[in-house]
Amino acid sequence: MNDDISRVIFSEQEIADRVADLGAAITRDYKDVAGPEGIVVVCVLRGAAMYTCDLIRAIDMPLEVDFMAVSSYGSGVKSTGVVRILKDLSSNIHGRHVVIAEDILDSGLTLSYLIKNLKSRGPASISVATLLRKDTPNQADVNCRYVGFECPDEFIVGYGLDYAERYRNLPYIGVLKPEIYQ
Chain residues in the site for ligand IMP (CB under 6 A): 47, 72-73, 79, 102-110, 134, 155-157, 161-162
Please answer whether residues 73 and 80 qualify as being in contact, where contact means their C-beta atoms are separated by less than 8 angstroms.
Answer: yes
Q: Does 160 bind Mg ion (CB under 5 A)?
A: no
Q: Which is nearer to ligand IMP, 5 or 161 (CB)?
A: 161
Catalytically annotated residue among 21, 106, 153, 162: 106
Return phi, psi of residue 89, to 5°.
-60, 155
The Cα–Cα gap between 166 and 150 comes to 23
* 3-state SS class at 80: coil
Residues 15-54 that bind Mg ion (CB under 5 A): 47
CB of 163 to Mg ion, least distance (A): 9
Q: Which is nearer to ligand IMP, 54 or 102 (CB)?
A: 102
Rounded CA gap, 108 and 101, in Å? 14
The nearest distance, CB 120 to ligand IMP, in angstroms, is 19
Catalytic: 106?
Answer: yes
Inter-CA distances, 138 with 77, 89, 172, Å: 16, 30, 27
Among Mg ion, ligand IMP, none, partner that 101 touches (CB below 5 to 8 angstroms by kind)? none
Please choose which of Mg ion, ligand IMP, none residue 104 contacts, taking the beta carbon within 5 to 8 angstroms, the exact cut-off set by kind: ligand IMP
Cβ neighbours of residue 103 under 8 Å, at least 6 residues apart?
Answer: 44, 47, 48, 51, 130, 131, 132, 160, 161
Question: What amino acid positions are annotated as catalytic residues?
Answer: 106
Which residues contribute to the site for Mg ion (CB under 5 A)?
Answer: 47
